[in-house]
Amino acid sequence: DLNWDRLTHENEFDAREIATEMTHANRKKTIAEKAPETHGQHALLGPEQKITNPTRGDGVRLMCLGSDVEMDWEFGDVGVVEFWISPTDLCNRRFDLAYAMAGS
């Protein structure tokens, strides 16, 4: 979920600080509190992204990849690509039946 470019260049917390802090069990603030603009950029599982053109598929969201300058990914107008699979196909490990949807 981290956009390393934003963390290193635009944020007062650099990527190493946040990565180190993530390893400490007693940290007091989460990434979402320290760098809210980076929260939710990329994700595994979870609900669909709340964007202008939603990408809601049927079933379970496997992964979401957001537009990311550092990775040289641009999906539409700073959009996302989400990968979905039906619960039955997931239980049967039929990842060949997963599909992608893009939105921006």
Q: Is 70 exposed, middle or buried (0-12, 13-18, 19+ CB in 10 A)?
A: middle
Structure tokens at 33: 């509190």
66-99: per-residue pLDDT in tens?
776 666 676 666 677 788 888 888 888 899 999 9
Mean of the pLDDT values across residues 16-39? 50
Give pLDDT tens digits for 73-82: 766 666 777 8
Whole-structure pTM value: 0.51
